[in-house]
Amino acid sequence: MIRRHLFAALLAALPLSFAARAAESPADAAARKALTELVPQAKVDAVEQAPLPGFRQVIVSGQMVYVSDDGKYLLQGSLYDTRSKRDLTAARLAVDTKRKVDAVPADKRIVFAPSGKPKYKVTVFTDIDCGYCRKLHSQVAEYNQRGIELDYLFFPRSGLNTPSFDKAVSVWCAKDRKGAFTAAKSGANPAPLKCDNPVAEQFTLGTQIGVNATPAVFAPDGTHIGGYLPPDEMLARLQSLAPPALAGN
């Protein structure tokens, strides 16, 4: 009995990825093996049956590839359902993105919200020094007037421990964080500050969901709706995806 309890405790302590891998089908394992042999440094987030018969779909750093069940063939690109006129690749990636972005708590975001309850909420990965990021933020009041809340996460394009990264840290550590953010977006250099901050983890999150340019704007359902979008265009894009009630999710 003691041994059985000990075994159960050890099993419960195993990493989720190990348990999931142990339960993989032969086709899942073949797809994973083929991909990691082709790209040894690849970090595989998920392997599952694809809508395309005879293939598995594999999510790698926010990207989707399709691998044949025998591991012999790999396809990269978007998979469309011609009958429903739906991008199945984008829809599946959005689910994964939403899960990861929703895990970022409110106290690790810089939020610019309308005075009333927002109709929509977007997550924006931003770089302090990015020109289109600055253009987007210069219109933040116009987005808010249209009922759109902007939740900012940092993505210094130059990488960790670079001048843009340091500016993001300084903004985060400022006493008036939103004021420092807006001033930096206007071209002012923030006073150098250090403190516990989420900049590195937000940069890592961005790379995990496929961010490779800024601004990167994500809808509440995880859909990447683009880079810079003028206020009316962003509103129209959000309206085309879902009703306003989605903003409460």
Q: Which amino acid is at 94?
A: A
26/120 Cα distance (integer angstroms): 42
Is 21 catalytic? The answer is: no
219/125 Cα distance (integer angstroms): 12
Is 195 catalytic? The answer is: no
Q: Which two tokens stand for residue 12?
A: 């419960």
Distance of CA 15 to the CA centre of its chain: 23
Is 86 catalytic? The answer is: no
Q: Which two tokens stand for residue 89?
A: 């690749």
Strands (E), 130-235: 148-154, 216-218, 224-226
The closest of 88, 93, 208, 205 to 151, measured between CA atoms, is 205
Q: Which two tokens stand for residue 234?
A: 């962003």
Query: Pick the catalytic residue: 96, 133, 151, 166?
Result: 133
Query: Pick the catalytic residue: 127, 129, 151, 166?
Result: 127
Strands 120-126, 148-154: pairing kind: parallel
Query: Pick the catalytic residue: 56, 69, 157, 166?
Result: 157
Specify the 3-state DSSP secondary structure of 156: coil
The closest of 119, 112, 154 to 235, measured between CA atoms, is 119
Is 133 catalytic? The answer is: yes
Query: Pick the catalytic residue: 92, 130, 151, 166?
Result: 130
**Hey, which residues are catalytic here?**
127, 130, 133, 157
